Structure 1
Amino acid sequence: MQQFDHLIDAMKADLIKTTQDLIRFKSVKTPAEPGKPFGAGIDDCLTFALKTAGDFGFATRNVDHYAGYAEMGEGNEMVGVLVHLDVVPEGDGWTHDPYGGELADGRLYGRGVNDNKGPAAAALIAMKAIQDSGVTLSKRVRLIFGTDEESGWACMDYYKQHEEIPAVAFSPDADFPAIHGEMGILVFDLVKDFSDYLNDGGMRLVSLKGGNRPNMVPDYAEAVLENYKASEDILKAWNQDKSANVTLEISPDGSRATVRAYGLSAHGSTPWKGQNAISDLIGFLDCLDLEIGDLTNFVRFYAAQIGRDLHGERMGCAFEDEDSGKLVFNVGVVDLDPSAGRLTVNIRYPITVNGDSVLQGVRENAGRWGLELVNLEHQKPLFVPKDHPLVTTLMKVYQAYTGDSGEAVTIGGGTYARAFENAVAFGPMFPGMEETAHQKDEFYGVEDLVLIAKIYAAAIYELAR
């Protein structure tokens, strides 16, 4: 099973360089341009990945700039490896250049190094090792590059409409061991138009903004108040509260003040690993003497129904099951001005739960405060039995390299695996490894990168031989 290891060891420098080169593209989604549906940065990264794969000797195809692939081997059936080249925004607070691909103390740093450019490079090197070994495969192997995984998956929708579907596939975009189940995902906005306020002498909230993406824990948020009244004592008590997760500061300017909240970003599927700046900022605002009206009611709604809840307890959707655990509730974005307010929410719900049941509770609780649920996106849960040949094959490879006798697991994250039949996620994060995806100073260890390339080479060979 370890017949490709020496070839991958010999290509370690290529693996590092390819990962660094991919990181150096700021492949964050931007407005569409002609021939670049997700913006120039993502398209440039896709073009580079395909050129690199072509230089390695693989057949390549750019799928109308929505996706691309590198392919090797022959056969009627095809094994897919599903990666993505787009990344979430870098956020603030980095000590390394987020797009520098810096190598320090045995780690590669940069936005996307583990989500998902490092694994993409590792899969490419794994295929190169198999090709160079001269072994014969009975199936083709296709490394599929997606470009819109962090947003709406329009890339996979387009790919499936125009290209061949793999017979089996895995996505190196989650955890080890094999992931046989992924929770359902709901993304939506809670909105309300504002018209009513009472000039009662209270502080008037005129704007509230924070967050970048639904699937990120927001690390910054700010609010602007008019008719400001000194609130430093309340702020001091808030920051000294041991249960507070976020640091707040006030900058008064005459009758106006800006309140800033600094939290810690994390992946929206694991919000307990971050510190939600929106939640604590609104919690602080709820302590102030705010002017009665629609904007203030928006704050009161959030404080009463969401607060720091991570599992939808007060929104009527705190479901759980044995395989998945508890539902996960993350507010990723807030945008409020005198005319309207909007919260963008990302929910991961248990595999055995019906998504409509989750939405019913949310609609009922938000509706009592006059908020409407709009712009719904829904990805149903993924479940592949543990005894499925795909899962057992990947588990055999994983156990051979790690000695870990554990079983396949389920996660709250969502990967490209759910875009296809007979697909699961597989790595790259090992049990106990520090998770830095969607956080500042995202990193992945070089030796771990080499190890996953070896694991993926063995997995590809076992599935395609």
Structure 2
Amino acid sequence: MQDTNQIREWVYSKRKNIIRDIGRIVNICSVSDIEELQEMQSPFGEGCRFVLDEMLAIGKDLGFQTENYNYYCGRIYYEKRKSIENSITIWGHLDVVPAGDDWEYEPYEMTVEGDYLIGRGVQDNKGPTIGALYALLYLKEAGIPMNTPVSLMVGCSEETGMQDIDYYIKNYKQPAFSIVADCGFPVCYGENGIINIELQTRLGNKDILAFHAGSTSNSIPETATIILKKSCITAQKKEHLKASKLLLIEEERNQIKLTAKGKSAHVCMVHDSKNAIGILVKELLRLDLLPEEEKALKGVELLSKDAYGIAANLWDRNYSLGQLTGGATMIRYENSVLTVSVDYRYPILTNGIISDGKELLDSLKVLSREAGFTCIVRKHLPPSYIPANKPLIQELTKVYQEVSGLANPPYTMGGTTYTRKLKNAIGYGMALPDKQILRRKQGHGDFHQPDESLHIGELMEGIVIYIKALLKLNDLEISDLLLN
């Protein structure tokens, strides 16, 4: 097998080019638009069409061949391929979550600051996707004959429902083995179940002019805002309101705007989060500003008071292999209808068997009904799980440990990736455990947060691990790649 130090030297020699190519795609706003899903040229909007064109152009610039699957996804490869079902594919995605507010840097003009890249998507998932491409470039430039062809597949709607991979699976054959470069090292062998619901109720209060929070259903919101008519607030309540240390108060003519600030985080990584919805609703209830809407607001408070379902009595003591995380993530108010998006990630096992999420969903429906909401299930994905003792999982974990010098074992997570859609697939990097991020402010610097950042050196090491892993896989027979 190739010497690790020589591989590392090659990777670092490409540092400037890697940064350049990440910038080429980060500088394109590629939020997937599924509300106006169109066929062929722009199924997920122009931004995703442009970014896929640019990614495939980068592949061609590096001497690869490419295929465009009607702008749902694209493939980059360099060998004359055998049948796809006898190949290995690395998967990444080019779509991003909306930038949101409170950035100190330009989200779609990538910044290089010291050892960090900053911009929407540098970490999730454009940086790792370019990293995977350069792992393939090493194999190509080194002239290593691959017993099993390897290619890179890039999708355009991972953040909004994975319609890209659904389209691919429906119309094309799957590879023998898939590696998803959209998590952390070493091997992710399981993903929590996902329940995403939408609660709706009609409010009779005409004093509410606006009510909104969050920009994506899978992130704890950093800000929540309500605009009320001044006339609904008595002089006494106004004095109490001004004494609040949790709300930003802005008055303009006949209205008053109340804003709560929290700390954003992905719903699967909530340990440092503060839900702005919970802060705002708690103050609305404490100050008795909307007494006629108390029942609905109390329901929303239960779903946003903590990120573990404790206040809402959703936690199941029989859960294992993961923890329940999530809560209310978005609020919209239009034509007197209040809509609340709720996203929970539930553990893989209950009483030692794979969870089905039924009890959690039933509890959410009861809570919704008692608070006066109708409940619409937008998404329910069961957990994905492969036993960690599989030889291939152990082999890839060993590669990571030998290159990094770290002893982390395989793990499970609350996030969701293409892994759960694909047969015979694992998550594998490219983030290192205890990754370094550029955190100028609390709630900034990580993926899905303002000022999303990526440590350049850690990405370089991730590419080294990938190259070593691909070389290891090249020593195996197709039959050795089967996990089930």
Tell me the TM-score normalised to structure 2 length: 0.88
Counterpart amino acid of 1:386? A
Indicate whether 1:438 and 2:448 are aligned. yes
**Contact 1:187 / 1:345 at 8 angstroms: preserved in 2?**
yes
Counterpart amino acid of 2:452? E
Which stretch shows the higher mean deviation, 305-314 or 10-19? 305-314
**Contact 2:305 / 2:311 at 8 angstroms: preserved in 1?**
no
**1:31-430 mapped onto 2 (5 Å cutoff):** 31-32=36-37, 35-73=41-79, 74-76=81-83, 77-194=86-203, 196=204, 204-226=207-229, 227-230=232-235, 231=237, 233-235=239-241, 238-239=244-245, 247-293=246-292, 295-303=293-301, 305-319=302-316, 323-337=320-334, 339-352=336-349, 353-430=355-432
Alpha-carbon distance between aligned partners in 2 of 1:343 and 1:4, rounded to the nearest angstrom? 50
**Contact 1:94 / 1:441 at 8 angstroms: preserved in 2?**
yes
Q: CA deviation at 1:300?
A: 2.6
Alpha-carbon distance between aligned partners in 2 of 1:171 and 1:128, rounded to the nearest angstrom? 18
**Could you say which residue in structure 1 is the equivalent of 2:478?**
none
Counterpart amino acid of 2:227? V
**Contact 1:108 / 1:446 at 8 angstroms: preserved in 2?**
yes
Q: CA deviation at 1:323?
A: 4.8
**Contact 1:184 / 1:379 at 8 angstroms: preserved in 2?**
yes
Task: Summarize the Cα distance change of 1:307–1:19 in structure 2 as closer, same or farther, 3 Å threshold.
Answer: closer
**Contact 2:66 / 2:76 at 8 angstroms: preserved in 1?**
yes
Counterpart amino acid of 2:108? Y
Which of 29, 32, 54 matches 1:29?
32
**Secondary structure class of the residue paired with 2:105:** coil
Indicate whether 1:448 and 2:461 are aligned. no
Deviations 1:398-424 (A, max 9, x none): 011112223101111111111112211
Alpha-carbon distance between aligned partners in 2 of 1:105 and 1:319, rounded to the nearest angstrom? 45
**Contact 1:208 / 1:224 at 8 angstroms: preserved in 2?**
yes
Counterpart amino acid of 2:285? D
Alpha-carbon distance between aligned partners in 1 of 2:276 and 2:290, rounded to the nearest angstrom? 23
Counterpart amino acid of 1:364? V
**Contact 1:108 / 1:444 at 8 angstroms: preserved in 2?**
yes
Q: CA deviation at 1:169?
A: 1.4
**Could you say which residue in structure 1 is the equivalent of 2:479?**
none
Alpha-carbon distance between aligned partners in 2 of 1:434 and 1:308, rounded to the nearest angstrom? 29
Q: CA deviation at 1:32?
A: 4.0
Q: CA deviation at 1:307?
A: 4.0
**Contact 1:206 / 1:337 at 8 angstroms: preserved in 2?**
no
**Contact 2:264 / 2:274 at 8 angstroms: preserved in 1?**
yes
**Contact 2:233 / 2:289 at 8 angstroms: preserved in 1?**
no
Deviations 1:321-371 (A, max 9, x none): 675332112321111246211110111001012211210111111111221
Q: CA deviation at 1:215?
A: 0.9
Q: CA deviation at 1:459?
A: 1.5
Counterpart amino acid of 1:363? K
Provide the alpha-carbon RMSD of the alignment: 2.1
Q: CA deviation at 1:37?
A: 1.0
Alpha-carbon distance between aligned partners in 1 of 2:262 and 2:167, rounded to the nearest angstrom? 36
Q: CA deviation at 1:26?
A: 0.7
Counterpart amino acid of 2:383? P
**Secondary structure class of the residue paired with 1:115:** coil
Give 5+ residue unaligned stretches, structure 1: 198-202, 240-246
**Secondary structure class of the residue paired with 1:329:** strand
Q: CA deviation at 1:6?
A: 3.1
**Contact 1:80 / 1:170 at 8 angstroms: preserved in 2?**
yes
Alpha-carbon distance between aligned partners in 1 of 2:89 and 2:377, rounded to the nearest angstrom? 31
Q: CA deviation at 1:274?
A: 2.6
Q: CA deviation at 1:312?
A: 1.5
Alpha-carbon distance between aligned partners in 1 of 2:316 and 2:138, rounded to the nearest angstrom? 45
**Secondary structure class of the residue paired with 1:145:** strand
Q: CA deviation at 1:17?
A: 0.8
Counterpart amino acid of 1:211? G
Which stretch shows the higher mean deviation, 279-288 or 31-40? 31-40
Task: Summarize the Cα distance change of 1:220–1:210 in structure 2 as closer, same or farther, 3 Å threshold.
Answer: same
**Contact 2:222 / 2:264 at 8 angstroms: preserved in 1?**
yes
**Contact 2:368 / 2:374 at 8 angstroms: preserved in 1?**
yes
Which stretch shows the higher mean deviation, 410-419 or 388-397? 388-397
Alpha-carbon distance between aligned partners in 1 of 2:430 and 2:399, rounded to the nearest angstrom? 14
**Could you say which residue in structure 1 is the equivalent of 2:442?**
none
Alpha-carbon distance between aligned partners in 2 of 1:278 and 1:91, rounded to the nearest angstrom? 15
Alpha-carbon distance between aligned partners in 2 of 1:68 and 1:27, rounded to the nearest angstrom? 15
Q: CA deviation at 1:450?
A: 1.1
**Contact 1:188 / 1:377 at 8 angstroms: preserved in 2?**
yes
Deviations 1:31-69 (A, max 9, x none): 445620111111100111111112222221111101111
Deviations 1:65-123 (A, max 9, x none): 01111123344511111100001111222222211111111111111101000100100
**How many equivalent pairs are there?**
450
Give 5+ residue unaligned stretches, structure 2: 350-354, 438-445, 476-484
Which stretch shows the higher mean deviation, 148-157 or 205-214? 205-214
**Secondary structure class of the residue paired with 2:286:** coil
Q: CA deviation at 1:4?
A: 3.2
Alpha-carbon distance between aligned partners in 2 of 1:291 and 1:459, rounded to the nearest angstrom? 58
**Secondary structure class of the residue paired with 1:272:** coil
**Could you say which residue in structure 1 is the equivalent of 2:469?**
459
